[in-house]
Chains A and B, each alone.
Chain A
Amino acid sequence: MLKIEDLHVEVDGKPILKGINLEIEAGQVHAIMGPNGSGKSTLAYVLAGREGYEVTKGSVLYKGQDLLEMAPETRAAEGVFLGFQYPVAIPGVSNIYFLKAALNAIRKHRGEDPLDAIDFMKLSKKKAALVQLPDELTKRSVNDGFSGGEKKRNEIYQMAMLEPSLAVLDETDSGLDIDALKVVARGVNGLRGPDRAMLVITHYQRLLDYIVPDVVHVLINGQIVRTGDKDLAKQLEREGYSEVRSASQP
């Protein structure tokens, strides 16, 4: 599904990612853990196509295609989804109306007919229920006046609507209390499937109690220093990043 090879990325001339190698198969959930400033969000943004991130070396193949060549909307149409760490508020653009535009643009890209208003609303109700997002919030302006938890639930609701092949979830747990975390995790788990891959980025192990990953990577200073199974996350929680970092030194 996703193959990242020797990826180097700079922001404002400063190297942030220094040779990332990562391969995710369909059906797998990978977690990337790392301290602040390790380059986790940079990786997420590069995969989604945000401007300002310069790839100086390496490649990213998604379903065998060069992902880095695609515009952000093309990536979305091809099935890449980014769950934002800080979802932006867009006053004046209603959640549901922009999602309908997004979904129908993606359907068009796939050669499918657009959903009409009635089918779209039916689908929206079903998906909103999945993350307990009140119907009223789906109609409000995008993230405008939403609480932290509502914003994150809105991200997962949108993911459920768009049914991506590859979901990159950037610190979906940040700012959530335990009940909200459970709701969000349940929404994510509901979307796991044999055709879908996920890359879950987090600072804390806590999220991984609820979204259990197949593979865990530790990202420190722009490089993946350790890769293991879900027990690696537990070890990190016990010992901290500095222990894992020193243990990884040859």
Chain B
Amino acid sequence: MTEANRQTLLASLPTSFDLGPDWLQALRTQAAAALREQGLPTKRTEAWRFTPVRSLVDSEFSRDGDDVPTLLSALPEGVTVRGLAEVLRSQPELLHGRLDFGGPPAHFAALNTALFRDGLWIDVPAGSAVETPIEISHVSPSTSTPGVAYPRVLITAGENAELTLIETYAGGSAGQLSNSVVEVELGRNATMKHVRVHENAGLQIGRVDVRQDADSSYRSTVVTLGGALLRYDVRCLLQGKGAECQLDGAYLTDGDDHVDHHTLVEHQAPHCISGQTYRGIVSGKSTAVFDGVVIVHRDAQKTEAHQENRNLLLSDTATIHTKPHLEIDADDVICSHGATVGALDQDQLFYLRARGVPEDFALAMLTYAFVESIVDRVSHEPTRARMREALISRIPHGDEIREVT
């Protein structure tokens, strides 16, 4: 049910919202007002400096009706999945305060908040430990008319709950924009493993927002396999004492890809641990951006925070912007950050060749080894195998690697 009239993203904002509970109408009105006032980001917006959003902002899109990600796996026991639209109709009070990021959203997330029609609510109640991964995917359509979708997912995990979520976002034909938001709420001592794959991402703006109570654990592995324009933001708010998050990512870019990964970890409570390891292989004329921020609030003593971004630059025409940074207001903390951009190690290459490995094959081995360690952290074996295969299939001479692994 594609709407016939095409509009630019901002022009598609209604002036009033009259469906759903009052709090949602208020939230949407607020988001729309902020967007009208501030507009969508430009190159002058610091956090969007390297993201070429202009083409998106000025383009016309038609609205595709289907914003709901598809549930791929049979639902494991101990999990409920409901449609957001249905819950907003029948039990809106259950969602009150859960779709607002704990503060007014900005930019593309605000646009999603104003315009999403439906979505998924995945709930794992207190004490429920779900081992089988929950798999969802959102695939942009392959139509010739430029279209936009606003996928929306809410994950809630109660005290001591455990879950693994595997998300796949796949781009359709050129000109299809997916502007998605995933909100995660982890109760005390809850554990979530989150695997996210961006395949042929097309035009994608994605936002993951995690709020963590005491002793909860959030581990995320994102694998981005190219993208005409991909911008992925993940924010973790460590709100309860002893919470931990680990954000890992691997990105492979080639051709004219533009891939942006932004992280923000806020240590708001003491004794929390956060780690970030992102690795990229950047080829062709592509551009990759890593922008990672760790903020340690004044009361967040005994914080441990580490951040690392390493990049392999495989062509002279590719570009990498990397900017890991820390803002620390507490005094009793252990923090580290670092970034590297480099070529393949010539000593390693020579070692492999001197043993008889042909040069192309040796290059492939070293390239693959650079990102494999990220995928190795995925504990669910079938998923890990799938991600390995996805990486291998994109590395030159990957076929030969497949034969010997």
Residues of chain A having any CB pair with chain B under 8 Å: 48-51, 71-73, 75-77, 81-82, 84, 87-88, 90-93, 97-106, 109, 141-142, 158, 162
Contacts and interface: CB of A to CB of B under 8 A. Distances in A.
A91 B310 CA distance: 14
A105 B345 CA distance: 22
A117 to B, nearest CB: 9
A102 B404 CA distance: 10
B347 A88 contact: yes
Contacts of B353: 49, 71-73, 76
Given A50-B350, A88-B345, A162-B355, 10 more contacts: A48-B350, A73-B354, A92-B369, A93-B365, A97-B405, A100-B404, A104-B404, A105-B357, A106-B356, A141-B369
Given A92-B370, A97-B405, A101-B404, A84 B357 contact: no
B372 interface: yes
Contacts of A77: 356
Interface of B is mostly: helix
A87 B354 CA distance: 12
A48 B354 contact: yes
B346 interface: yes
A88 to B, nearest CB: 5
Given A93-B366, A101-B357, A87 B346 contact: no
B358 interface: yes
A131 B346 CA distance: 28
A97 B355 CA distance: 12
Given A73-B357, A90-B348, A102-B352, A97 B369 contact: no
Interface residues of B, number: 26
Contacts of A109: 356
B351 interface: yes
Contacts of A51: 346, 350
B404 A73 contact: no
A158 B355 contact: yes
Contacts of B350: 48, 50-51, 72
13 contacts: A50-B354, A71-B353, A76-B356, A77-B356, A88-B351, A90-B352, A90-B366, A91-B369, A93-B369, A97-B405, A98-B352, A101-B357, A103-B356
Contacts of A88: 345, 347-348, 351
Interface in B338-376: 345-348, 350-359, 361-362, 365-366, 368-370, 372-373
Interface of B: 345-348, 350-359, 361-362, 365-366, 368-370, 372-373, 400, 404-405
Contact of A71 (B348, B359, B365): B359
B373 A91 contact: yes
B213 to A, nearest CB: 36
A147 B350 CA distance: 21
Contacts of A101: 357, 361, 365, 400, 404
A51 B352 CA distance: 14
A75 B77 CA distance: 59
Given A92-B373, A97-B405, A101-B365, A73 B359 contact: yes
Contacts of A87: 351
Contacts of A72: 350, 353-354
A55 B275 CA distance: 49
A225 B257 CA distance: 59
Point out which of B356, B357, B405 has the most chain A C-beta atoms below 10 A from its C-beta.
B356
Contacts of B356: 73, 76-77, 102-103, 105-106, 109, 162
Contacts of B352: 90, 93, 98, 102
